[in-house]
Every structure is written in structure tokens, then in C-alpha cells.
Amino acid sequence: MPFSDIVAVSGLLLTLTTFMFNLAWPKLNEALALDEHLSGPLNRKRSRDKVRGAVYGRALPLTCAFVALFYVNLPAAVGIIRSSTLDLWDFDVDRTLYVMVVLALLAFALINAGLTVKLLRKWRKLR
């Protein structure tokens, strides 16, 4: 498989997972915005259920998807970085884009991991 095809597939997977993140964002944001100082056990239970649903149904799967995509693409990106020389005027666009896609995957994995940790903390406070 030519390298440009690998870049295209990686870019497509990044686009797909980013689209999934955009679909999940309203529910994640809603769960993050829940008040932790609710009165009454029924209200706290409802909030706990919403946060748990956001964690297990959205945040954790997205985090796993981004981490898996980053991990799968990391060895090739490291190989490209090791074998490349810094040249501002004559560089391989495909290889550069591939490394940028891998860095974007890392950024999204870290963002989703942060959201997951925040939701888990909120879930714990609602107990």
C-alpha cells in the first residue's frame, strides 16, 4: 500500500472519530455541567446515572478509540521523524501530514482522557 494511501486512511479515521466526538459533545457537556450539590437522594441518583452514562457510553469509548488510533500510528510516525531531516523548502508533504495526523490523534486522546477523568471525579462526588 503506498504511503499516500496510509495517510488518507489515517486522516479518514481521524475525521470519523472527530465526528463521533462532535456527536457526543452535547451529552458530555451536559454531564459536566450537572450540579454536584444536589439535595435529595433521587436527584443525586439521576445525576449519577447521567454521568455514568456519559462516561461509559461516550467518554471512555472515544478515549479508547483515539488512544488505539494513536498507538497504531505511532511507530510509523516515530520512524518518519527519526529518518527525516529538517528542511523548510524541500520536504515530503505526505510524511509531514502523516506526522501531523498522529499529533492530532495524540491531542484528541489527551483531551478525551481529561474529560473522562473530570467525569469520573464528578461521578465520585455525586456518591
pLDDT in tens, 45-87: 898 999 999 999 999 999 999 999 999 999 989 998 899 887 7
Distance CA 109, CA 86 (A): 27
Query: Which position has the higher pLDDT, 10 or 1?
Result: 10
pLDDT at 120: 94
For the chain, what is the domain count? 1
To the nearest 10 degrees (0 to 180), the angle between helices 3-32 and 41-54 is: 180
Distance CA 90, CA 53 (A): 49
pTM: 0.84
Structural domain boundaries enclosing 16: 3-125
DSSP string, 45-78: HHHHHHHHHHIIIIIHHHHHHHHHHHHHHHHHHH
What's phi and psi for 90, nearest 5 deg? -135, 90
